[in-house]
Each structure stands twice: as structure tokens, then as C-alpha cells.
Amino acid sequence: MPIRPSKFVHVVYRTRRFEEMLAWYQTVFGAQVQYQDPALAFLTYDQEHHRFAFANMDLIDPGGGGPDDRGVIGVDHVAYTFSSLSDLFELYAELKSDGITPYWCVHHGITVSMYYGDPDGNQMEFQVDCFADNDDANAFMRRAFSINPIGVEYEPEEWLVEVRSGTPGEDLLARKSDLPVSPIRSAVGAGFGPPGG
């Protein structure tokens, strides 16, 4: 039986109506802003550190179309949480043996994540939470996201070895650097999504 996620956790949207979208989700869901800068915002309506994220395409892709141009507007990806690093990395190994690999592996600080694309190009994030306590995750977002709201990339093969060798999860879950993400993405970002996509 394949390893399955323990829960569905969030949706990320690309928008050219950034402030309008934030206001709508705050009104409709009673969501509160967890973190916001001019390019990105993370909101939640419950105990999860974020249920929605918004990428302001007017800043990320300033030469793009207007607010009604659907080219880059819409769902960027959906995210699923796994119960443990072992589950996440054993699924990675299993999928890799079937020829399915992530296009991006990044330690966001609040999650350790792998991003996959399905045959139609729909994107999904498979993640493990870094904090057992949501207050700690929120504090991390307030502190570290102003320095680097995207994260630090990692090599999944190296982490698979660490996980299988018994390295304690807390050693891997603590993001040890706030250096900007490597050239695949920048702190403001080329947006989310597979390279070249």
C-alpha cells in the first residue's frame, strides 16, 4: 500500500488582485494574515499555520497581463502534510523508482517540502511540519519570513540517507540558515512552479 498524506493543508494562488483577494478571504473565511510582504501573503482561519497563500503577480511578473488575463492567474499548487520525515522520504524513494521525481525540494522553515507536477502540470507540495506547536510555527513566520519567506533548497538524496540512517527528525526539521533560496528561485521569486513553467 502506498504511503499517504495525513491531511490536506493549503492552496496557493497567483493573483493580480492581491489586496482585493486578501480582503475577500479575510471576509469570507474570517482568515487572519500570518505574514505579508508586497509579493506574498499567508493566511489562516484555524490552527494551521496557513491555509491560503497568495503570490502578487504584479510584482513577481510585472510585464504580464492585467487582472483578467488568466495566463498566470489561478491555483499555483495544493499541499498535503505527511506524518513524518520517514513517510515523506520513503514516498520520495518509492516514486523515484517509478520515474516520478520532485521538481523542487525546499526547507521553508515551517515545513520541509517536495514539489511535484502531475502529467497535466498541476502542482502539489508534499510536506512535513517543522513545529509540533502552531504558536512556534507562527513565531517562526513572523521572525524569519521577513528575511527569507521562501526557504532554503536541499538535496533529497542526501536527506534520504540521513533519514534512513536514523538522524533525529528534530535535527533535520530545524532550518539552520535563512540564506536566500538557491538560483532556482529568489526571495521574491520567479513565482512558484516548476523551473521554466
Is residue 72 included in any domain, yes or no?
yes
Instruction: Decide if pLDDT at 17 tops 90.
Output: yes
Is residue 191 included in any domain, yes or no?
no
> pLDDT tens for residues 76-95?
999 999 999 999 999 999 99
Is residue 1 included in any domain, yes or no?
no
Name, in order, each residue with C-beta under 8 angstroms of 79's C-beta and a sequence gap of 6 or more: 8, 9, 10, 11, 12, 113, 124, 125, 126, 127
What confidence score (pLDDT) does residue 109 get? 92
**Domain range for 16:** 7-173
Q: Comparing C-alpha atoms, which of 173, 197, 172 is closest to residue 185?
A: 197
Is residue 131 included in any domain, yes or no?
yes
Q: How many domains does the chain have?
A: 1
Burial of residue 8 (number of CB atoms within 10 Å: 0-12, 13-18, 19+) = exposed
What confidence score (pLDDT) does residue 191 get? 42
Q: How far is CA 181 from CA 19, 38, 56, 107, 190, in A?
A: 26, 18, 19, 9, 11
Is residue 169 included in any domain, yes or no?
yes
What confidence score (pLDDT) does residue 190 get? 37
Residues 2-30, mean pLDDT to the nearest whole number: 91
Other Cβ atoms less than 10 A from the Cβ of 11: the count is 15
Distance from the Cα of residue 49 to its chain's centroid: 12
> pLDDT tens for residues 42-76?
999 998 889 999 999 988 888 777 766 666 788 99
Q: How confident is the model at residue 194 (pLDDT cuts 50, 70, 90)?
A: very low
Name, in order, each residue with C-beta under 8 angstroms of 157's C-beta and a sequence gap of 6 or more: none
> pLDDT tens for residues 133-185?
888 988 898 888 888 888 899 999 999 999 999 999 889 998 877 766 654 44
The CATH number given to whatever domain includes residue 66 is 3.10.180.10
Is residue 192 included in any domain, yes or no?
no
Residues 177 and 108: beta-carbon distance below 8 Å: no
Is residue 129 included in any domain, yes or no?
yes
Is residue 179 included in any domain, yes or no?
no
Distance from the Cα of residue 144 to its chain's centroid: 15
What confidence score (pLDDT) does residue 189 get? 37
Q: Comparing C-alpha atoms, which of 76, 71, 51, 58 is closest to residue 193?
A: 76
